[in-house]
Amino acid sequence: MIFDVKDKVVLITGAASGIGAATARLAAERGARVIATDLDGEGIQGVAADCQCIGLRHDVTSADDWDNAITAAVHHHGRLDALVSNAGFVNYAPIIDLDLARFRKLNQVHVEGSFIGLQKAVAQMRAQAMGQPATGSIVLTASVMANCTAPAISAYAVAKAALANMARAVGVEVGRKGDMIRVNAVCPGPTRTPLLEGALPPGAMNDPAHWTDVPLGVPQEPEDIAESILFLISGESSFMTATQMVVDGGWSLT
Amino acid sequence: MTRTAIVTGATSGIGRATAVRLARAGFHIIATGRNPQRGAETVRQVEAAGGSAEFHSFDVTSESDWAAFADNVTARHASVDALINSAGSFFSKPLPDTTLDDFRELWTADVESVVLGTKYGFRMMRDTKSAGSIVNISSLAGLIGLDDCAAYCAAKAAVTHFSRVAALEGAQMNPRVRVNSLNPGVIYTEMITGAYGDNDAVKAFVMDGNALQRVGTAEDIASAATFLASPAARMITGTAMLVDGGRGAD
């Protein structure tokens, strides 16, 4: 039942932990050629060692760092087949306490980071196409917070909504241009990551009483999101573009 | 233990392609449809793909047929791991020309079939203690409008939302059952060629509406259905999975 990603050259940002690390591990296990990047230049080396892949320090708000990451993919593997723009962080603050600098930083990392990545990845996918329609798959990690919300999370909800519609807008644009480059967003619900662990009361992650709002009764594991991302990278989703794939155990249903 | 998948409407188009794809993923296929000759061809294609299949001919809009089918399946199979409710119908007609009988016939074929399928799917999964996955084939037309297709759009919107609510019920079962709708864009199958014709002009119309400049195939939908049926999607429930080549996005 594996959806084939063998030999695909996949760049994954925010890959030192959480969903990004799980995606890198699963992709590597299934034979993809992974370039794993993260702002945490030390942490990414651990994942790279596990995956026997390239690990790079990468500030996604830096165009130079993006060039460096894509150059590494092309230098080592000859091309770029997929980008998983996953780097991000969360900020909890009621609106009246929300610091403008923090709001800007959050949008800079999520929205500007993915914007630069999309530009560079689409350019590379077109450049390597040798006159044929360009192919490739780009997945942006958004969130169910793109379409619903919770208290004290407005900055994150804004950034994730922007990402979801960025996937839609760019997906339509590159498709209509004649490329076979696909752009989709994955929208995870609450997932067992260091990001969420840090925000929950101690013990809540493993306490069923904390997850009664999730119809399936448990948080997502990072591997659950990784599976959806890999499906979106695989050729079996080649008619999917500009969509949002929700993986939330039914959390957003009610 | 062999996993088992039921596919309704498996005698053509998306249903048949899904039966073949699920068989390649290791499922034993229980194919259903109205036409035994076409059913035999689906079984042949599943076997040619290295799988195993059986065919049952019954009317998916008949509750007594579903009840008898469910008894038969649970008596002979240890688990029911996936159910793909793919059987459905389509017509295009301006509303002033659409009769109430037209509307009812489509509603029965597209909505009642899915309601009964989900009901008996729950029962079969409950009786075999299966953590199953139900995939209801809806349509992009259940999310956005399509000219001269008011009845079809209404029916597919019903399928989409019914699936969301059924997902809440399925989540309370033990073991839990997942329910999702799968919403294809315009896919080049007999359903479309039967209504509009099978020629280059129709193909061009189908393709031009897509952001991706190609025609959607039954295999595209079969892959997505197989993903939703698989453990890879074990935390996906209550969603409407859109596979439309970007048709609905602009």
DSSP A201: P
- CA-based nearest residue in chain A for residue B182: A245
Let me know if residue B73 belongs to a domain: yes
Is 80 exceeded by the pLDDT of residue B108? yes
**Which domain does B236 fall in, by range?**
3-189+217-241
What pLDDT does residue A1 have?
A: 55
Residue B163 lies in a domain: yes
pLDDT at B220 > cutoff 90: yes
CATH topology of domain A9-247: Rossmann fold (3.40.50)
Closest-CA distance, A72 to chain B, in angstroms, reads 29
Of A83-92, B7-16, B18-27, B189-198, the range with the lowest mean pLDDT is B189-198
A29 or B195: which carries more pLDDT confidence? A29
B94 cis-preceded (ω within 30 degrees of 0): no
Average pLDDT over all residues of chain B: 97
> Can B120 be counted among the known catalytic residues?
no
Q: Distance between CA A84 and CA B15 in Å, rounded?
A: 32
Reported as a single tens digit per residue, the pLDDT across A94-125 is: 999 999 999 999 999 999 999 999 999 999 99
Confidence at residue A146, expressed as pLDDT on a 0 to 100 scale: 95
Instruction: Give me the number of domains chain B comprises.
Output: 1
pLDDT over 90 at A2, yes or no: no
- Whether residue B141 contacts residue B156, with contact meaning beta carbons closer than 8 Å, is answered with yes
Q: How many residues does chain A have?
A: 254
Query: What's the pLDDT band for A85 if we cut at 50, 70, 90?
Result: very high
The mean per-residue pLDDT over the stretch A75-86 comes to: 98
pTM here is 0.97
Active site residues of A: 156
Q: What percent of chain B has pLDDT over 90?
A: 96
Please state, for a pLDDT cut of 70, what percent of chain A lies above it: 100
Is the interface score ipTM higher than 0.90? Answer: yes
Contact across the interface for A249 and B237, Cβ inside 8 Å: yes
Taking residues B155-178, what's their average pLDDT?
A: 98
Confidence band for B1, pLDDT divided at 50, 70 and 90: confident
| CB proximity under 8 Å: B 94-153 to A | none
Q: Which residues of B touch A248 (CB under 8 A)?
A: 235-236, 239
Least confident window among A48-62, A182-196, B135-149, B189-203: B189-203
Quick check: A248 contacting B, CB < 8 Å? Answer: yes
The answer to whether position B185 is within a domain reads yes
CA distance B190 to B90: 10
Phi-psi sector, B206: left (phi>0), alpha (psi -120 to 50), beta: alpha
B197 part of contact set with chain A, CB < 8 Å? no
| DSSP run (H or E) holding A136 | strand A135-141
Do A239 and B216 make contact, defined as CB atoms within 8 angstroms?
A: yes
- Which of A239, A243, A253 faces B238 most closely, judged by CB atoms? A253
- Chain segment B229-248, per-residue pLDDT in tens: 999 999 999 999 999 999 99
- CB burial readout B179-200, b (16+ within 10 A) else e: bbbbbbbbbbbebbeeebeeee
pLDDT at B142: 98
B236 vs chain A: nearest CA distance in angstroms?
5
- Which of B216, B217, B232 is nearest residue A231 as measured by Cβ atoms? B232
Report if residue B7 sits inside a domain. yes
Of B26, B235, B241, the CB nearest to A249: B235
pLDDT (0 to 100) of residue B155: 98
CATH of the domain at B98: 3.40.50.720
Closest CA to B219 of A199, A238, A77: A238
Domain extent listing, chain A: 9-247
- The reply to whether B199 falls in a domain is no
Residue B205: what pLDDT? 87
